Amino acid sequence: MDEPPSQEKNLVDLAQQLDLGNMLGYLQSFVNDLQGGFTAVNNKQFDWLDKLRSYPWTGVLCLGMGGSAAGGEFLSTLASHHGNRPIIVQRDYTLPSWFDATWLVLATSHSGNTEETVQAAESALKKEATVIVIATGGILAGLAETSPNCYLIPSIGGQPPRTAFGHIFSRQLACMEALDILPKQSHEQRQAMLQRLTQINEQFDVLGDPEGDIALLASTMMDHPLSVVGPTELTPALNRFKNQINENAARFMRVGILPEMNHNESVAWGGVGEHGDSTNDEHVLLFLTWERMHPRVQQRLNWMVAHSPTELAWNLVGEGESLLEALLYHCIIMDWLSVTLALLHGKDPEAIAPIVSLKNHLQSIQYR
């Protein structure tokens, strides 16, 4: 990792020096990206949605990797919470052994060339399955031109995939709503949600408030191991938080999910008795919560807070009137935190040299 920047430089200076790919600008446009995607997908724009809505799908299989798979995980949680059919995420070259054409496939790749997603989508089409592609172009978009069972919802390009989550997820969700696989928000509910998220996004903008809560927490995170804990229904946000910290800030982050972690990982955290991991008191421990957690999960979390071995524990409450809004609220927090942490470490938050190197290596030994 690059040497930490001089303490004399504030975040605005660091952004001008290090944010070469305008990552902060993409964070500022996140809610607008959501709005654009929700508006772009409808039955008038894509009349084939009416035909697909009438089919009795067993469920939806979401194909994707990295930032393009994150939306599928959010859809899966929403389906478990209030959907009428399962939505399952597959991050691999292959399809599950049980897969058949009664499952609708949603294949997402920002570039349209993610090799795992392309191969799995091609395998699904060979099984005569129906595939909906969300991509900016590439091989996946081309499948919609050559296969009668493949349909394309174009996304917006010109930016790193992990910053395109607003473009991608809004299209995924709008598609599932149009197919009646997930219940629709009313127009009034959606606009009110987006307005609240806009206010939160402006509140957390470190360029507007370079000495606020985001900057304070990010500075606390600099020299400590990082852990994040939350309830099962916030798992997509927990995993995306880890991934954003990994990519944007080049840092590790441990993820713990309640109540499952209370049956294993709690022993390593200690706080009661003589034993625990030797580093448990060094961690910055972030609790991602929301107001409608199961009451027993809330009681478990309260116990963990009371017995936390670290004094560096923060509770980040996802505000909102629905699980969807709480998840998106946490997305805003994690994006600002991860990019701010990168800047404080002296890193360009867009830089992902190991991933680029691996892709180049794989292209040199291409087997397709």
What DSSP letter does each residue of 312-339 carry, written as one string? -EEEEEE-SSSHHHHHHHHHHHHHHHHH
Question: Span 154-177, mean pLDDT?
Answer: 96
Structure tokens at 306: 């009371």
Q: Is-contact 79 61, C-beta < 8 A?
A: no
Which residue's structure tokens are 């990994």? Answer: 246
pLDDT at 364 over 70: yes
User: 67: pLDDT confidence band, cut at 50, 70 and 90?
Assistant: confident
305 contact partners, CB below 8 Å, separation of at least 6: 287, 313, 315
pTM of the model: 0.95
CATH of 11-20+193-344, one of 1.20.1280.260, 3.40.50.10490, 3.40.718.10, 3.40.50.720: 3.40.50.10490
The per-residue pLDDT for 116 is 97
Which tens digits make up the pLDDT trace of 280-337?
999 999 999 999 999 999 999 999 999 999 999 999 999 999 999 999 999 999 999 9
Q: Quick one: which of 84, 75, 85 has its CA closest to 175?
A: 75
pLDDT at 180 over 50: yes
109's enclosing H/E stretch is strand 103-109
Which tens digits make up the pLDDT trace of 73-89?
999 999 999 999 999 99
pLDDT at 366 over 80: no
State the amino acid at position 331 in one-letter form.
Answer: C
Q: Is-contact 166 34, C-beta < 8 A?
A: yes
Residue ranges, comma separated, of all CATH 3.40.50.10490 domains in the chain are 11-20+193-344, 26-184
Question: Span 155-159, mean pLDDT?
Answer: 95
Which tens digits make up the pLDDT trace of 198-231?
999 999 999 999 999 999 999 999 999 999 999 9
Using CA atoms, how far apart are residues 320 and 323, in angstroms rounded to an integer? 7
126 contact partners, CB below 8 Å, separation of at least 6: none
> What DSSP character marks residue 164?
G
The per-residue pLDDT for 323 is 98
Question: Span 176-194, mean pLDDT?
Answer: 97
User: 367: pLDDT confidence band, cut at 50, 70 and 90?
Assistant: low
The per-residue pLDDT for 368 is 58
Q: Quick one: which of 170, 222, 269 has its CA closest to 5?
A: 222
Q: Which CATH superfamily is domain 26-184 in?
A: Glucose-6-phosphate isomerase like protein; domain 1 (3.40.50.10490)
Using CA atoms, how far apart are residues 193 and 263, in angstroms rounded to an integer? 36
Give per-residue burial for 251-282: e unless 16+ CB within 10 Å, then b. Answer: bebebbbbeebbeebbebbbbeeeebeeebbe
CB atoms inside a 10 Å sphere around CB 43: 12
The per-residue pLDDT for 64 is 98
